[in-house]
Structure 1
Amino acid sequence: MTVGKAAFVVVPEGSVTTPAGFRAGGLHCGLKKTERHDLGVIVCEVPAQAAGVYTLNQFQAAPLGVTKESIAEGGTLQVMLVNSGNANACTGQQGVDDARAMRAAGAKAFGVAEHLVGVTSTGVIGELLPMGKVLPGIERLPAGVSADGGDDFCQAILTTDLVKKEICVSLTVGGTTVHIAGAAKGSGMIHPNMATMLGFITTDANVASADLQKLLNEVTDSTFNMITVDGDTSTNDMVVVMASGLAGGEALTPQHADWEAFKAAFAFVGEHLAKAIARDGEGATKLVEVTITGADSKEAARAIAKTVIGSSLVKTAVYGADANWGRIIAAVGRAGYKVETEKVDVRLGDITVLEQSRPVKFDEERAAEYLKGDFVLIHVDLHMGDVSATAWGCDLTYDYVRINAAYRT
Structure 2
Amino acid sequence: MKQIAGGVTAAKGYEAASTAAGIKYQNRTDMAMIYSQVPCVAAGTFTTNVVKAAPVKWDQQVVKSGAKVQAVIVNSGIANACTGSEGFGYCKDTADAAAAALGISAAGVLVGSTGVIGKQIPIEKLTAGVAELAKKKQATLESGQEAAKAIMTTDTKEKELAVEIEVAGKTVTIGGMAKGSGMIHPNMCTMLAFITTDAVISKETLQKALSEDVDDTYNMISVDGDTSTNDTVLLLANGMAENEEIIYGSEAYETFTEALHVINEYLAKKIAGDGEGATALFEVKAVGCESKEQAKILAKSIVCSNLTKTAIAGHDANWGRILCAMGYSGAQFDPEQVDLFFESAAGKIQIIENGTAVNYSEAEATKILSEPEVTAIADVKMGEETATAWGCDLTHGYIEINADYRS
Normalising TM by the smaller chain, what interval?
Answer: over 0.9
1:86 maps to which of 78, 82, 85: 78
- The share of aligned pairs that are identical, in percent, is 44
Residue 407 of structure 1 aligns to a residue in which SS?
coil
The answer to whether the Cα contact below 8 Å between 2:6 and 2:145 also exists between their aligned partners in 1 is no
1:169-198: per-residue Cα shift (whole Å, max 9, x none)? Answer: 001011101101110000011100012100
Give the equivalent residue in structure 2 for 1:5.
none
- Specify whether residues 141 and 351 from structure 1 end up closer, same or farther in structure 2 by C-alpha distance, changes over 3 A only: same
Q: Distance in 2 between matches of 1:328 and 1:322?
A: 12
Unaligned runs of 5+ in 1: 1-7
Q: 1:151: how far off?
A: 1.6
- Whether the 8 Å contact between 1:308 and 1:328 is mirrored in structure 2 is yes
Q: 1:296 touches 1:386 (CA, 8 Å); kept in 2?
A: yes
Residue 244 of structure 2 is aligned to residue 253 of structure 1: no
CA deviations 1:325-379 (Å, max 9, x no partner) are 0000000111111112221111111211111112111000000111111111100
Distance in 2, matches of 1:191 and 1:119, equals 22
Secondary structure at 1:342 match in 2? helix
The answer for the alignment partner of 1:185 in structure 2 is 179
- 2-structure distance, mates of 1:179, 1:392: 26
Q: 1:137: how far off?
A: 1.2
Aligned to 2:331: 337
Q: CA RMSD in A?
A: 0.9
Which of 99, 106, 121 is the matching residue for 1:114? 106
* Structure 1 contact 20–247 (Cα < 8 Å) conserved: yes
Structure 1 residues 91-240: aligned runs within 5 Å: 91-148=83-140, 149-240=143-234
2:8 is the alignment partner of 1:16: yes
Q: How does 1:360-399 map to 2 (within 5 A)?
A: 360-399=358-397
How many residues are aligned here? 401
1:75 is displaced (CA, Å) by 4.6
Q: Secondary structure at the match of 1:147?
A: coil
Q: CA deviation at 1:78?
A: 0.7
SS in structure 2 opposite 1:30? coil
- Specify the code of the residue in structure 2 equivalent to 1:49: V
Deviation at 1:99, TM superposition (A): 1.3
Aligned-partner SS, 1:20: coil
2:314 aligned with 1:316: no
The whole-number CA distance in structure 2 between the counterparts of 1:255 and 1:236 is: 31
Deviation at 1:164?
0.2
Alignment match, 2:34: 42
Q: Distance in 1 between matches of 2:61 and 2:39?
A: 15
Paired AA for residue 390 in structure 1:
T
TM-score (norm. length: structure 2): 0.97
Aligned 8 A contact 2:323 2:335 in 1:
no
Is the 8 Å Cα contact of residues 69 and 115 (structure 1) preserved in structure 2? no
CA distance in 2, matches of 1:143, 1:194: 33
SS in 2 for 1:222: coil
Instruction: Tell me the equivalent position of 1:73.
Output: 65
CA contact (8 A) 1:54 1:64 kept: yes
Deviations for 1:33-67, whole angstroms, at most 9, x for unmatched residues? Answer: 32211111100011101100000111000011111
C-alpha displacement of 1:73: 2.0
CA distance in structure 2 between the aligned counterparts of 1:335 and 1:235, rounded to whole angstroms: 25
1:353 alignment partner AA:
I
Paired AA for residue 132 in structure 1: E
Aligned partners of 1:344, 1:80: CA distance in 2, in Å? 47
- Asked if 1:301 corresponds to 2:295, the answer is yes
Question: 1:236 deviation in Å?
Answer: 0.3
Counterpart Cα distance in 2 of 1:285 and 1:255: 41
Superposition deviation, residue 256 in structure 1 = 2.8
Distance of 1:76 and 1:222 partners within structure 2: 27
Contact 1:285/1:319 (8 A) holds in 2:
yes
CA distance in 1, matches of 2:354, 2:219: 30
Given that 1:67 and 1:118 are in contact with CA atoms closer than 8 Å, whether structure 2 keeps it comes out as yes
Alignment correspondent of 1:283: 277
TM-score (norm 1): 0.97
SS in 1 for 2:165: strand
SS at match of 2:183: coil
Q: Quick one: distance in 2 between partners of 1:89 and 1:31?
A: 15
Q: Distance in 1 between matches of 2:265 and 2:169?
A: 26
What is the CA–CA distance in structure 2 between the aligned matches of 1:107 and 1:302, rounded to whole Å?
43
Q: Please name the residue that 2:405 is paired with.
A: 407
Deviation at 1:255, TM superposition (A): 3.6
Equivalent residue of 2:210, what SS?
helix
- Spell out, residue by residue over 1:83-116, the C-alpha distance to the aligned partner (whole angstroms, 9 max, x if none): 1010000011111111111111111111111111
- Residues 149-171 of structure 1: CA distance to partner in whole angstroms, max 9, x if unpaired? 10221111000001000000001
Runs (4+) off by over 3 Å: none
Q: For residues 278-301 of structure 1, what are the alpha-carbon distances to aligned partners after superposition, in whole Å with 9 as ceiling and x for unaligned?
A: 111111001110000011111111
Paired residues of 2:162 and 2:173 also in contact (CA < 8 A): yes
Task: Provide the C-alpha distance between the structure 2 equivalents of 1:258 and 1:66, rounded to a whole number of angstroms.
Answer: 32
Counterpart of 1:241 in structure 2 is: 235
Q: Which secondary structure state, in structure 1, belongs to the residue aligned with residue 251 of structure 2? A: coil
Q: Is the 8 A contact 1:51 1:75 kept in 2?
A: no
Where does residue 350 of structure 2 map in the other structure?
A: 352
Q: What is the aligned counterpart of 2:48 among 56, 65, 76?
A: 56
Q: What stretches of structure 2 of length at least 5 have no aligned partner?
A: none
The letter for the 2-side match of 1:269 is: I
TM-superposed CA distance for 1:244, in Å, is: 0.9
